[in-house]
Structure 1
Amino acid sequence: MRAIWKGAVAFGLVNVPVKVYSATEDHDISLHQVHNKDGGRIRYQRRCEVCGEIIEYKNIDKAYDDGERTVVLSAEDFASLPVEKSREIEVVEFVPSDQIDPIMLDRSYYLEPDSKSTKAYVLLRRTLEETDRTAIVQFSLRQKSRLAALRVRGDVLMLQTLLWDDEVREATFPSLDEKVRVSAKEKEMSAALVESFSSDFDPENFTDEYQEQLRVLIEAKLEKGEALDTDETFGETDEDDGGGKVLDLMEALRRSVEKNREKKGSAGAKAGTPSPGTKTNAKKGA
């Protein structure tokens, strides 16, 4: 990995020099646009509407227009902002970790110690772990002031940038004002459905099926061209078990529980051991 930023975490008079790395990456297949008639590549050009010339990115500045006046801002103008010059990740408060609403989380970054001595880094990490606190910090990155949560992941400190409060929309749906009666039997059946799906989360058990199927499609088209038969490549799509019928809520819950129990039982039989769901049901029936 390549560091994208260097600075220091500052809390009180303590400074922790760090390097910042992107913690995530995009695995999507890269595609470009073409003309569907002849396959010609579609390209976007930065053309000046005054002189008509195509402009290189290095010669492009940004501007603000209030409707009457325009002010042009160069890279030097942005770099002159005091907050942009700062190389400090300032801790403004330590909060209980469960107070951070996941909807506010944005991008994630790893922090590596950038000093011969890692004592201050390790001290901050252990303090966060033992107090179950998350540090709320502010810093500037890529011409933008950031609010972030500084927390621990394994042995590493990480930053997760946060959306500003006014960037999170409030959800107001009139349909939720309607009074709905949920019976005890429906809640019981819904809980049984949750139990039939219960498991411990392991991200390695999940894959991006769309990207996998896209790779299969690309390989098949490279091999067979326009003669490709997608039904032959992917097989026929399974029909909906409901057969297009509209089921009432209780019936849908009942069928879902039965279907998932059968699925888990089948998986356990193939593995040679009873499934977790089967064990749970056996205890309840005892």
Structure 2
Amino acid sequence: MHTVWKGSISFGLVNIPVKLHTATENKDIKLRQLHKECNTPISYKKVCEGCQKEVNEEDIVKAYEYSKNKFVVLDAEELENLRKENEDKVVEIIDFVKLEEIDPIYFEKTYFLSPDTTGTKAYALLRKTLEDSGKIGVAKIVIRSKEQLAVVRVYKDALVMETIHFPDEVRSVSDVPNIPSVDVVVQKELDTALMLVEQLTTVFDPTKYTDEYRTALMELIEDKKANGTVNVTDKKPLPDNVTDLMSALQASLEKTKKPPTRKRTTKTKKNA
């Protein structure tokens, strides 16, 4: 299993060398975009909206847009220094709470924690402590220059760390429109609904739930392959060096075949 982070867990004076492994994987089927005429993959280029020129990685700087079209530019050295100041390789447990006290809306991503060669005994100690106490640890960690709030808990025989959102990252429910008041429920309808819930109540078994769309899509793809319905291009695919899809989409501008007018316009073309 690939290691995405290496450091330690600390609680009190206990320090446990650990490795972090992604616990889940995205199994969405990725579809490429091709030019309809020749089946060549479409690529995206980073283009400056101001001068209509394609830019290289070394010509790009990062900035924060504090108001419309007003930016504070941050150079690479400033960002690197800030990252080094805040990147302690430690999962620091600062509190212990009950799992049921945290609403699922806060949970983000799950990682397995494995002990390093010298940390097996301390790892087992923390695991047993969490099991016997019925508590989970609330911790902070820096991953890829971003500080994260997280919880450490026991899952089967392993410790897992789940990153959770900070409170200001969860939007207020008061901003949700058209929520009905609590007094609009008819008792007879409620009784019927409760009966339906009772009839459908069972023990949770995750293996009974499958992605039916993904299964059907793969069956369609395999059927087309088996029947020879495959499009092949003889042209070499264009290199795709996009790192940020959103900025790539915004920057996917091209030169128009028509002579430019005095009033600058932005048009999008298909790249083959």
TM normalised by structure 1 equals 0.70
Name the SS of the counterpart of 2:196 in structure 1: helix
Equivalent residue number for residue 12 of structure 2: 12
Name the SS of the counterpart of 2:173 in structure 1: coil
What does 1:134-283 correspond to in 2, within 5 Å? 134-172=136-174, 173-177=177-181, 179-183=183-187, 185-222=188-225, 223=227, 225=229
User: Which consecutive unaligned segments of at least 5 residues does structure 1 have?
Assistant: 227-286
Amino acid at match of 2:180: L
Could you say if the C-alpha distance between residues 179 and 121 of structure 1 is closer, same or farther in structure 2, counting changes exceeding 3 Å? same
Q: CA deviation at 1:29?
A: 1.5
Moved more, 189-198 or 100-109: 189-198
**Equivalents in 2 of 1:204, 1:182: separation in Å?**
36
Q: CA deviation at 1:209?
A: 0.5
**Equivalents in 1 of 2:59, 2:154: separation in Å?**
41
What do residues 17-49 of structure 1 show as CA deviations (whole Å, max 9, x unaligned)? Answer: 110111111111121122345544221112356
Contact 2:62 2:74 in 1 (8 A): yes
Amino acid at match of 1:2: H
Q: CA deviation at 1:114?
A: 1.2
Contact 2:63 2:71 in 1 (8 A): no
Contact 1:83 1:145 in 2 (8 A): no
Equivalent residue number for residue 84 of structure 1: 86
Name the SS of the counterpart of 2:180 in structure 1: helix
What do residues 131-171 of structure 1 show as CA deviations (whole Å, max 9, x unaligned)? Answer: 11111100100121100011110111111000111111222
Equivalent residue number for residue 45 of structure 2: 45
What does 1:19-38 correspond to in 2, within 5 Å? 19-36=19-36, 38=38
What do residues 104-126 of structure 1 show as CA deviations (whole Å, max 9, x unaligned)? Answer: 00011111101324111111111
- Aligned residues, how many? 223
Q: CA RMSD in A?
A: 2.4
Moved more, 38-47 or 10-19: 38-47
Moved more, 214-223 or 8-17: 214-223
Amino acid at match of 2:144: R
Q: CA deviation at 1:191?
A: 2.2
Amino acid at match of 2:183: K
Contact 1:111 1:159 in 2 (8 A): yes
Contact 2:17 2:118 in 1 (8 A): no
Amino acid at match of 1:93: D
Could you say if the C-alpha distance between residues 47 and 69 of structure 1 is closer, same or farther in structure 2, counting changes exceeding 3 Å? closer
**Equivalents in 2 of 1:147, 1:207: separation in Å?**
31
Amino acid at match of 1:114: D
Q: Does 1:102 align with 2:104?
A: yes
Q: CA deviation at 1:10?
A: 1.1
Name the SS of the counterpart of 1:121 in structure 2: helix
Contact 2:64 2:73 in 1 (8 A): yes
Name the SS of the counterpart of 1:188 in structure 2: helix
Name the SS of the counterpart of 1:186 in structure 2: helix
Name the SS of the counterpart of 1:176 in structure 2: coil
Name the SS of the counterpart of 1:80 in structure 2: helix
Could you say if the C-alpha distance between residues 83 and 111 of structure 1 is closer, same or farther in structure 2, counting changes exceeding 3 Å? farther
**Equivalents in 2 of 1:181, 1:65: separation in Å?**
46
Aligned-residue sequence identity (percent) comes to 39
Name the SS of the counterpart of 1:125 in structure 2: helix
**Equivalents in 2 of 1:170, 1:28: separation in Å?**
30
> Hey, which of these two has a bigger chunk of helix by percent?
1
Moved more, 26-35 or 86-95: 26-35
User: Which consecutive unaligned segments of at least 5 residues does structure 2 have?
Assistant: 231-272
TM normalised by structure 2 equals 0.73
Name the SS of the counterpart of 1:24 in structure 2: coil
The structure that has the greater radius of gyration is 1
